[in-house]
Amino acid sequence: MAWEQDEIRNLKENRYIVIDEEPCKIKKIDVSKPGKHGEAKARIEAIGIFDGKKHSMINPVTHKVKVPIIDKKKGQVISLSGDEAKIMDLNDYKTFNIAIDDDEILENIEQGQEVNYMTAMGRKKITRI
């Protein structure tokens, strides 16, 4: 299980949420006042970590949602081939391949460099060189 549950009322901007099975970073939360026959509702706008698309949802503030468990780690670039890098984790020395989708990172990445990467829900992404 790469996520946990939490109520919408406990979420804050710049934290993470799962919308449509995609881990997303919350950009904006708007909460409406409770009505005569209902409870307060929250509108969440977020950007997908891996797909970069805008996701949104509207639910009552007491609704439980998935919150991804994000691990931020360091690794070293072993080799590069096209838009894919072979990375070695600096803690447990395991190697794995990561597809590089950010043009800025792709231009500046070199063999032997240390990189920061994140893992969420079984997927990995390089965040910083």
Q: What is the CATH number of the domain that holds 36?
A: 2.30.30.30
Same domain (yes/no): 58, 105: no
Where among 45, 68, 91 does a domain terminate? Answer: 68
Same domain (yes/no): 62, 11: yes
pLDDT at residue 46 in the model: 95
User: Is the pLDDT assigned to residue 74 strictly greater than 90?
Assistant: yes
Same domain (yes/no): 76, 52: no
Same domain (yes/no): 33, 81: no
Separation of first and last alpha carbons in the chain: 29
Same domain (yes/no): 87, 61: no
Quick one: average pLDDT of 95-120? 86
User: In percent, how much of the chain has pLDDT > 70?
Assistant: 99
Same domain (yes/no): 30, 51: yes
Residue with tokens 């996520």: 3
- The per-residue pLDDT of the chain, averaged, comes to 89
Where among 53, 68, 83 does a domain terminate? Answer: 68
Cα distance between residue 8 and residue 57, in whole Å: 11
User: Is the pLDDT assigned to residue 101 strictly greater than 70?
Assistant: yes
Q: Are 68 and 16 in contact (CB under 8 A)?
A: yes
CATH code of the domain covering residue 84: 2.40.50.140
For 20-32, the DSSP string reads: TTEEEEEEEEEEP
pLDDT at residue 83 in the model: 85
For 11-74, the DSSP string reads: --TTSEEEETTEEEEEEEEEEPPP-SSS--EEEEEEEETTT--EEEEEEETT-EEEEE--EEEE
Same domain (yes/no): 62, 78: no
Task: Domain count for the chain, please give it.
Answer: 2
User: Is the pLDDT assigned to residue 89 strictly greater than 60?
Assistant: yes
Same domain (yes/no): 89, 102: yes
Residue 64, domain extent: 3-68
pTM value is 0.81
